[in-house]
Amino acid sequence: MAAPPDNDVLWARSLHRSHNGSPALTGVSLGVREGEVLAVSGPRGCGKTTLLRCLSGQLVPQQGEVWFDGVPVHTMGALTRERLRRDRFGWIDPEPHLVPELTAWENTALPLLLRGTSHRAAKKAAQEWLERLDIGAVARKRPHALLQAQRQRIAVARALITTPSVLFADEPTAPLHRADRAQVLRTLTTAARSHGITVVLATHDSEVATLADRTVPLLDGRHADTPDAADAPDTTGTAAPTRTTDAEGRPECSLSV
């Protein structure tokens, strides 16, 4: 088991995962640099969500390795992975999952309150994030009184409030109209860069992908440029991220399967 490169905060090698007998990931490898905004693109059903869930420790790959900050996630027990997700990772779903009995600021502050942050400090931080997302005026309203776009912005604020090391965003603007989508994504990427947060963003929207530093395309659970499974050689357990350079000569990690 080889350790990942020092400059990759997330590193995956030859990930395989099936759902109900159907392959969702087939030998995917990649590296994500610290502070990078990486978009994983592709049509629905191509394996984007499964990849994010493997990288974040929600799923354990059936084959392959996942490393975070030099530590193997794929060998961790369930409780250790849960602590990792709670303490170091953030997650945004396509649909906002808010607590209906709590106000907008309470939903936003919930991760801090669960960590033992004082009520006053948590409320102040929540209000600041809601203001950044242009919904400070709804801080005292409950989810049922809000528009879908407002609820999704609260979910984004809640994911950012703990300043996670890595934020996983699974189609975070899917329920939003175009204007709302652009504003939320600008806020998300700007906040991530200003706070040094690494972002792994799953999207089928080419406009969303343009806001990322780099895009990795998936198709049918593998890199979009990979030959069909019938024609591809068996590289299970031997693939590794390969390094190339982008148009400006900077190192770039590409998928290898």
pLDDT tens digits for range 199-212: 999 988 877 778 89
pLDDT at 256 over 80: no
- What pLDDT shows up at residue 233? 35
pLDDT band with cut points at 50, 70 and 90 for residue 157: very high
- What pLDDT shows up at residue 66? 96
**pLDDT digits over 26-46, tens only?**
999 999 999 999 999 988 889
- What pLDDT shows up at residue 197? 93
Query: What does the mean pLDDT of the chain come to?
Result: 84
Pairing outcome for strands 222-223 and 214-219: antiparallel
pLDDT at 240 over 60: no
**pLDDT digits over 90-137, tens only?**
999 998 999 999 999 999 999 999 999 999 999 999 999 999 888 999
Q: Between helices 178-194 and 148-160, what is the axis angle to 10°?
A: 10
Least confident of 16-25, 57-66, 73-82: 16-25
pLDDT band with cut points at 50, 70 and 90 for residue 174: confident
pLDDT band with cut points at 50, 70 and 90 for residue 165: very high
Please compute the mean of the pLDDT values over residues 154-179 and round it to a whole number.
Answer: 90
- Scored b (16 or more CB within 10 A) or e, 17-56 reads beeeeebbbbbbbbbbbeebbbbbbbeeebbbbbbbbbbb
Please compute the mean of the pLDDT values over residues 224-238 and round it to a whole number.
Answer: 43
Cβ-based neighbours of 77, under 8 Å, separated by 6 or more:
none
pLDDT at 182 over 70: yes
Least confident of 108-112, 142-146, 217-221: 217-221
Q: Which residue has the tokens 């499964």?
A: 50
Cβ-based neighbours of 26, under 8 Å, separated by 6 or more:
16, 220, 221, 222, 229, 257
pTM, to two decimals: 0.83
pLDDT at 248 over 70: no
pLDDT band with cut points at 50, 70 and 90 for residue 1: low
